Amino acid sequence: MTLNPKLTKLFNEQINNEMASSYIYLAMSAWFEQTPYSGFAQWMFTQSREETMHALKFYQYLVDRDAKVELQPIAKPKADFKNVLDVFEHSLKQEQKVTQQINDLFEVAEQVKDHASKNLLLWFLNEQMEEEKSVRDMIDRLKLAGNDPASLLVLDREAGARKTTGGGASDKAGE
């Protein structure tokens, strides 16, 4: 079944959205590298790689559906932040935005009755739920820690120990 042109366009846009997310997280990682928080830098770096994997998953889907891939320029990410909490709050906003994008894509897939696309997008919607949750949990704990350096260092160490989550162990484009 040929992929619907509107879906093809939106999936191409989603490749770009995921690459933009990857870039945003990489910029956040770079920002943390300039601070004592090497654990948060690692967390953001891991997140950046996962977003690239998401982009590749959409890329592979277009290829598998014999649809045309059209890569677009990636927007310059924000490079300056106020503090640790500020970075994670931006991260949550970014994830909420992506959830909305994928939700919109799902709606179009539903309209054109493309069940294979819906299936792929469901995987992504679950992934988004997990990502939003892990960022929200971190924000809650950062708020508890406040400006206490010792508490922040505990969270930093935990963040640095983060295993690659999501990405889907059984998915070829995932981790």
Site membership for Fe ion, residue 90 (CB under 5 A)? no
Query: Which CB sits closer to Fe ion, 54 or 90?
Result: 54
| One character per residue 13-42, x = contact with Fe ion (rule: CB under 5 A) | -----x------------------------
- Is 145 in contact with 37 (CB distance < 8 Å)? no
- Applying CB under 5 A, among 39, 44, 131, 142 the residue interacting with Fe ion is 131
Spatial distance between the Cα atoms of 83 and 18, rounded to a whole number of angstroms: 24
Other CB atoms within 10 Å distance of the CB of residue 39 = 20
Q: How far is the CB of 133 from Fe ion (least distance, A)?
A: 12
Give the tokens for residue 47.
């997140």
Does residue 57 belong to the site contacting Fe ion (CB under 5 A)?
Answer: no
Output the CA–CA distances (angstroms, integers) from residue 6 to 66, 107, 146, in the order listed.
15, 12, 46
Contact residues for Fe ion, defined by CB under 5 A: 18, 51, 54, 131
